[in-house]
Chain A
């Protein structure tokens, strides 16, 4: 656990600056994919597993048998290109922390933290006099419950409650130095958003033989967004609160296992952005992936116990009409008796395609996911 803390702190210690695209909508969105899925084109939501929990597809976890705790961190590099200037900045994201608790015949409970949106960004005018930066973001506290339907073999249903909260801030700062003054002047201009609300996701999952299929759907929720402004030497009216429906997604995922340890996965999700970003079209995201799962026999050679994954993902629409295309690859490494370290490398590109000024991001992101799993909380009889 000490190593885990060190890893989180080390990740946070590097830069979290992201693209200016973070100014759109509620910020840059990070999906809820679990660690292994990150390397499979973020398409592995339906692949049956004991070690992962996905807040969108809670129903999958009804068949989980191990209590699992997962932490993800994702350092990376983003090259931002606007056809005139190119800059590379390092980034850091802590997208998820989750705990999955199977309760046998009483179903499954999952809970987690999901840093869904991030404002983290950094921009400076070419004369270095005006800077724009973003901080914070809206995140979610998720609580899910899943239940395997007794009379329908392989079918489960789930529901997840998402508590939306968090704050973000966009700060513009100008530094001015008069030639005949001793001190420089710093003028600040900020917009702060505070988020508070909730929404629900319902999910269904079917697993039989080599096939896993899941579907999920977000219900219309209600999030209060309180906006306040501030600026040096300026006075603004009291903060205003508006009530909006958060982005609603409908998605499906499937997994097909073959040749024992191999699996192919795919997913598709469409998200409505009405009410979030004016003029943004519906967003479509999809991915495909492959996995060769390592041996579960702890006495096997270590290399045979490694899992290997690859995939591709893409999307278009949403805030900024961003077109995304990325390739993914990664591996899962056993840690001790029941832990797993999943490394997922994503290389891709986001291209703002709304007809306005060009903004292209080329990113290299390494998701580091540490999962600890055990049969904690289950009686010996149940374990058998």
Chain B
């Protein structure tokens, strides 16, 4: 009780041999290089994506061959905004205005304006990057290419032809719903410098009346930036782009790594389930890339490790609720009635998926899907999932329980959805990749380097230690200094395994009192 009330005032170096004889051996540190054989590779959206409209910063521009689409929604259902139902006759829409921080930004833009009937049922699909031409209830009223210029303050003003106002007037009042604006910067050359800029204060100017501002769609601001890369990326790509991104989940072959390490640095303190033979002081995973498209010129990533306790998966049918299987519930959660449900937003194109408690969407104070992306942390009860192409989202629902909903895209017989429940045993935060000046240059992709060495000591410790449990490593994109504009895509040079080798520094543990 009182024995530990003091502190050591000096270091005692004597008695090392005695402690060694008592089993308190301090073995020498050893270096080893491990081949990282990979059992599986899976591509996933980053945590918190796909984000709903209104989340984060609105950007426009091009990154290499990718154009970042900007979608703006204006609510036309309140005609008082332009002086009554027929106000457009005397006060036509004059111009589309927005500001960018850079007055020299002068992109070539494809401008489309789309009228959505009534409540605009198809509008969510436009926000998710679907081409409007094939969507029901939408009518393109303007499709032109413009070269907007700005004033000294960066204010861009794109004049709108009278035909836009005429088209709105030609629509019956009951059908008058939303006006969607789609801006697609034109890619001149994949090799051109990045031209991504913040787009702020978008509005439609009306003569002698206050400008029309973007509306609110399902409690979200009706704006979204979509980089077209999101739809086609596969597991050979990691990146962060407007509206979504890609992380890569690996399962390393723990048996092979353990065998290799034990062969190079003999030590054996283990049980059938756990290997306690080493303290990993340093583990540098080497990853090679053969292509990087980025804005700005470098890319950063890090590794999160998750130890999996149990997994279960099953098919999900649209309009049906899928309850959480008992196989992933703990005893204390056995009474929880949590499920997921995806309902059709736009047939065969877009679904709205929710996490449910009983038959109701989960609410604050219950169990909400908690997501974290580069725009910060937020809670949401639902997200939109593309049905016409592969799409995916993963998020936590209960303590250490994650649910992933994956759309395999429309094939014959409609979209196939699968839900995967994962009970995590533990999650290990990524190791720091920083030196005294900031992000380690060795862990930075770009600026002349096509290879990174990521510190993964916490992750590798679990791969080595966990003999009976699956350990997955997520290579996740990391935000840079230019918040919201760090948009990049990197192609792995060895997409079947991603990590080429791991250079480790370990200290064998002994099996004595410690």
A residues at B contact (CB < 8 Å)? 12-17, 19-21, 23-24, 80-82, 84-90, 92-94, 113, 115, 118-126, 128, 130-133, 135-137, 139, 166, 168, 170, 172, 174, 176, 178, 180-183, 185, 187, 189-191, 231-237, 352, 356-359
Given contacts A24-B22, A136-B1, A187-B279, 14 further A-B contacts (CB under 8 A): A16-B7, A90-B10, A93-B3, A118-B3, A128-B11, A170-B513, A185-B281, A233-B465, A234-B461, A236-B276, A237-B274, A357-B17, A357-B18, A357-B21
B440-467 CB mask vs A (1 if < 8 Å, else 0) is 1010000000000001011001100110
Chain B residues with CB under 8 A of A166: 1, 3
Kindly state whether residue B201 has any CB partner on chain A within 8 Å: no
Contact across chains for A358 and B513 when beta carbons are under 8 A apart = no
Give the interface centre of B13, B435, B440 by most chain A CB atoms within 10 Å: B13
B271-285 CB mask vs A (1 if < 8 Å, else 0) is 100101001111000
How many angstroms between the C-alpha atoms of A137 and B5 in the bound complex? 11
Given contacts A118-B3, A120-B4, A236-B274, contact A132 B19 (CB under 8 A): yes
Contact across chains for B440 and A181 when beta carbons are under 8 A apart = yes
Contact across chains for B507 and A13 when beta carbons are under 8 A apart = no
Chain B residues with CB under 8 A of A356: 18, 21
Contact across chains for B274 and A139 when beta carbons are under 8 A apart = no
Chain A residues with CB under 8 A of B432: 181-183
Contact across chains for A359 and B18 when beta carbons are under 8 A apart = yes
Determine how close the nearest CB of chain A comes to the CB of B92; give it in whole angstroms.
59
Kindly state whether residue B20 has any CB partner on chain A within 8 Å: yes
Chain B residues with CB under 8 A of A121: 12
Chain B residues with CB under 8 A of A130: 26
Closest to A119 in B: B3
Contact across chains for A89 and B8 when beta carbons are under 8 A apart = yes
- Partner pick for B279 among A16, A170, A231, A237, CB 8 A cutoff: A231
- Partner pick for B5 among A12, A81, A128, CB 8 A cutoff: A12
Interface size on B, residues (CB 8 A): 50
How many angstroms between the C-alpha atoms of A198 and B426 in the bound complex? 39
Closest to B280 in A: A233
Chain B residues with CB under 8 A of A183: 432, 434
Chain A residues with CB under 8 A of B22: 23-24
- Partner pick for A181 among B3, B6, B455, CB 8 A cutoff: B455
Nearest first, the 8 closest Cβ-Cβ pairs linking A and B are: A16-B6, A357-B17, A20-B15, A233-B461, A12-B5, A15-B9, A122-B8, A359-B18
How many angstroms between the C-alpha atoms of A342 and B17 in the bound complex? 38
Given contacts A113-B1, A233-B465, contact A15 B13 (CB under 8 A): no
How many angstroms between the C-alpha atoms of A92 and B280 in the bound complex? 36
Give 26 A-B contacts (CB < 8 Å), ordered by A residue. A15-B8, A15-B9, A16-B8, A17-B10, A20-B15, A21-B15, A92-B5, A92-B6, A115-B3, A119-B3, A120-B3, A122-B10, A123-B13, A123-B16, A132-B19, A139-B2, A166-B1, A170-B513, A170-B514, A172-B24, A174-B279, A181-B455, A233-B465, A234-B276, A234-B465, A357-B17
Chain B residues with CB under 8 A of A123: 12-16, 19
Determine how close the nearest CB of chain B comes to the CB of A110; give it in whole angstroms.
19
Kindly state whether residue B172 has any CB partner on chain A within 8 Å: no
